[in-house]
Amino acid sequence: MNPPNDWQARQTNSTSVEPEVESSEKVKVEEFEISGDNLVDKVKELIHQGNIRRITVKKAQGQILLEFPLTVGVVGGLISITFFPILAALGAIGALVARLRIVIERKG
């Protein structure tokens, strides 16, 4: 029997850590349906609103395609730099899928 290599050793010693969530913070969840053509523009609009914690993009059947958190400190020009890869992926998804659902979590 071969001794475990470094990858196997790291894999067996890993532990999962759940992020702590403050129970006093209220979150409002909204879900709406949108056409794939309007996806990128709608997500840009939501990002600029500033009070959104997380955006999830799903197929109309409910399968999650993309989910990403929005950080509180993102403002101004950093939005376009930080979210360019996400917006590019959303553009590709929007071109392939006709109807999508967007789920947003807002700070209550």
Mean pLDDT by 10 residues, the chain (108 residues): 45 40 73 87 82 87 86 54 72 80 86
Other CB atoms within 10 Å distance of the CB of residue 58: 18
> Residue 93 has what pLDDT?
79
> Residue 64 has what pLDDT?
92
Pick from 97, 103, 108, 96: nearest CA to 43: 103
Structure tokens at 86: 């996400």
